[in-house]
Amino acid sequence: MATRFGGVVKGVVEVLPGQSFLHLKLRDLSRARGDVPVFLMNSFATSEATEEHLATLRSELSPLAIHPVTQGVSLRLNPDGELYRDARGAPSFYAPGHGDVFDVLRHSEGFTRFREGSGRMVMVSNVDNLGATLDPVVVGFHLEHGAAITVEVAAKFPGDKGGAPAKLDGKIQVVEGFRFPNDFDQDRIRVFNTNTLSFDADVFERDVELSWFRADKVVDGHDVVQFERLMGEATATLSSRYLEVEREGDASRFLPIKTPKDLDGLRDAISKRLDL
């Protein structure tokens, strides 16, 4: 929604001189052998700026087949359940989480062609994690173990928050941090979900069951309620395996950048990781 990085669309932000998050992600994919289609999911709030930015990169990245896809749209509520309206009296829209990826790809013509061309797997990652490159070792691991989902997990650092693999109802799955009981010490689980997941492609042809989770937000000084779906919850109903990846050093697959301060501290690591 372009609200977490100083009010700009993060994908178009310059990370290294002349190279944005999107530029670096796509540059990595353009090195792969064969055709690697890219499904670039935006919200309604970020799609226009992303398209304008991509137009400046197309000559360099012309071998890539880039398919823009857009998340759904939902309406914010007041805490009492009534529709929230902004200062003009208009409804307030938002994109309801990365769990939309399943519906979005299922209805994408480009994805249908990918499947008809014997596409077997899909790797999903956040645009701000430049460590999550297309790696033949990760691809091979996913194809070999036979589960529908591979979840990349990394060692927790102090202050980390997010989902982690835990046994719930007799099944190992990604459980979001807010779902753990208050008296459970989450540090007992030494790894957490990096939000880089690999899926069998046929997962996106199913109706994947995901819960709607309440998220309390503040918009223009007002408390509002959003309901969101999270991609990792697919592990509750589909078979999954967990791959611990490096978090530090030149082989790191987890270099998340949530704030401009994070970017300032990780530029050198990104340059080394991407061999730039």
**Mean pLDDT, the chain, whole residue set:** 94
Domains of the chain: 72-273 (3.90.550.10)
Mean pLDDT of 100-125: 96
**Residue 33: predicted pLDDT:** 77
Query: What are the pLDDT digits (tens) for 40-94?
Result: 999 999 999 999 999 999 888 877 899 999 999 999 999 999 999 999 999 999 9
pLDDT given at position 167 = 95
Encoded tokens for 142: 């996913």
Contacts of 101 (CB under 8 A, 6+ apart): 41, 124, 204, 231
d(CA 45, CA 51): 12
DSSP code of residue 5? S
Per-residue pLDDT tens over the stretch 4-42: 787 899 999 999 999 999 999 999 998 887 789 999 999
Task: Supply the pLDDT for residue 7.
Answer: 82
* pLDDT > 90? residue 253: yes
pTM across the whole model: 0.94
pLDDT recorded at residue 5: 83
pLDDT at residue 61, rounded to an integer? 82
Q: Rounded CA gap, 239 and 261, in Å?
A: 37
CA 48 from centre of chain = 19
- 77 closest CA partner among 221, 227, 213, 210: 227
Burial 186-204 (b: 16+ CB within 10 A, else e): beebebbbbbbbbbbeebb
**Lowest mean pLDDT, pick from 56-60, 132-136, 158-162, 225-229:** 158-162
Answer with the residue of higher pLDDT: 256 or 153.
Answer: 153
Nearest Cα residue to 214 out of 230, 231, 227, 229: 227
Paired sense of beta strands 213-219 and 121-124, if any: unpaired
The widest CA-to-CA distance across the chain, in whole angstroms, is 55
The per-residue pLDDT for 161 is 80
Cβ proximity of 135 and 41 under 8 Å:
no
CB atoms within 10 A of CB 82: 8
